[in-house]
């Protein structure tokens, strides 16, 4: 297993636990999903776009942060994404953290 595959497996297994317990739409769950994505830099998501990577965000690049947050959970939940109001909420809390 390559490092990239390991990272992707780790992300999916971490996020899947939230979905298993129905916590993905809670504020706490969305914060965890966001932090898991942010902390997993350099993972290639070929099922979204073969050239897209999750990268450590530029703090001034709002579009990149929004893209990171909006990445949907792939394993059996392809149509689930975080709504825009939740994106704004996450962005506000993320700005308070940095």
In the structure, what pLDDT confidence band is assigned to residue 26 with cuts at 50, 70 and 90? confident
Confidence check: pLDDT of 22 > 70: yes
> 60: exposed, middle or buried (C-beta count within 10 Å: 0-12, 13-18, 19+)?
exposed
pTM, two decimals, is: 0.36
In the structure, what pLDDT confidence band is assigned to residue 96 with cuts at 50, 70 and 90? low
Task: Give the whole-angstrom CA distance, residue 84 versus residue 24.
Answer: 15
Confidence check: pLDDT of 17 > 70: yes
Measured in Å, how far apart are the chain's first and last C-alpha atoms? 34
pLDDT value of residue 78: 43
In the structure, what pLDDT confidence band is assigned to residue 81 with cuts at 50, 70 and 90? very low
Supply angle C-alpha 13, 19, 25, rounded to 5. 130
């Amino acid at each position: 297993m390559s490092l990239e595959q390991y990272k992707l497996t780790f992300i999916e297994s971490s996020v899947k636990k939230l979905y298993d317990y129905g916590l993905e739409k809670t504020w706490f769950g969305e914060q965890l999903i966001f932090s898991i994505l942010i902390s997993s830099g350099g993972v290639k998501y070929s099922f979204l776009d073969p050239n897209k990577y999750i990268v450590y965000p530029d703090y001034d690049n709002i579009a990149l942060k929004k893209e990171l947050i909006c990445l949907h959970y792939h394993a059996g939940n392809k149509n689930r994404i975080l709504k825009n109001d939740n994106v704004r909420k996450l962005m506000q809390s993320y700005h308070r953290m940095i």
